[in-house]
Amino acid sequence: MGSTGEPDRKRRHFSSISPTAATAKKQPFLPSSEDKKLDSAVLQYQNQKLVQKLEAQKAEYISLENKFSQLKGRQKTYDNTLSVVNKSWEELVDDLESCSMHTRDSASSREDFKHLLITEDEASSPQEDAFLSRLIETGATESSSMSCPNQMEEDGQTACEKTKNILGNIVSAIDDLWYFKDGLYAAILKALPEEGLYRQKVSRDLEKEVKNLRSSLEDLHLKHRSLAREMQSHQDNDAKNKAELKRLRGELESTVAELEEINGKLGES
């Protein structure tokens, strides 16, 4: 009897569950129309935000593209100017090298005559030493080395060597001319009478010529330093422009990548 009571209770339990409840448990949960409207509004809002971001990216892209075009135009103008400056600088260096070698050879041809005129105990004047010291201390050799810096890819070293040779020839020629002048001046003083207007006139003329020579050499040195500074300024501007172009290219590539990513997301949605 006890065993038959248990099945009866189970049958009564199952019969108490309504068919409608059982059917509801088996059916999946379906979203209501309100939920669909909410999801649609969220997607529409997100899409609107993406469109706004895309428009902002397009405006920034156009701005960067215009700036890049302007920099390219400026770079082209600068390249033309730099080409003219480089050509003029090379011609100047070649002319100076030729003139300095000719001057050095001319001074060397008077070497024997110089030794005949100058006595062994005769030393260079303090003014000559001061000028040579000033020529070296003001950075003639240094500025020449800077005027042909390492930024010149192919012929920078050659230009440096040329400039050093030019300065060496000029300094050597100046030294020879000073010795020659002193020897000639001493010889003239010995040949002329102790007193007389002619002796004074020759002395004044020689001193005037020496002053003119020194003034011309100082002007040449100042022009050389001015060209060196101008060349350095052009090279600094070139480096800045190249760095700016590199930065803009990076920004442009990054912006294009972001735009492609946004377009891909919009296409998928």
Q: Are 129 and 106 in contact (CB under 8 A)?
A: no
Q: What is the pLDDT of residues 228-262, one digit of tens each?
A: 888 888 888 888 888 888 888 888 888 888 888 77
| Residue given tokens 């065993």 in the structure block | 3
User: Is pLDDT of 66 > 70?
Assistant: yes
Per residue in 174-184, pLDDT (tens digit) is 777 787 777 77
Helices (H), 17-110: 19-26, 33-108
What pLDDT, on a 0 to 100 scale, did the predictor assign at position 104? Answer: 64
| Tokens 């649609």 found at | 40
Whole-angstrom Cα distance, residue 175 to residue 111? 11
| pLDDT for 24 | 44
Q: What single string gives the DSSP state of each residue in 184-235? A: HHHHHHHHS-SS-HHHHHHHHHHHHHHHHHHHHHHHHHHHHHHHHHHHHHHH
Rounded average pLDDT over 127-140: 45
29 pLDDT band, cuts 50/70/90, is very low
Give the phi and the psi of residue 176 in degrees, each rounded to 5. Answer: -65, -40
CA 167, 172, 177, 179 dihedral sign is positive
Q: How far apart are CA 202 and CA 65, in angstroms?
A: 73
Question: Which residues have CB under 8 Å from 81's CB, separation 6+?
Answer: 234
Question: 128 and 178 in contact (C-beta within 8 Å)?
Answer: yes
The two tokens of residue 108 are 């060397």
**According to the model, what pLDDT value does residue 109 have?**
57
Over the Cα atoms of the chain, what is R_g?
A: 46
Structure tokens at 77: 């103008």
Note if the pTM is more than 0.85: no
Asked if 172 and 106 touch (Cβ cutoff 8 Å), the reply is no
Band of residue 4 on the pLDDT scale cut at 50, 70, 90: low
Residue 159's region, left for phi above 0, alpha for psi from -120 to 50, else beta, is alpha
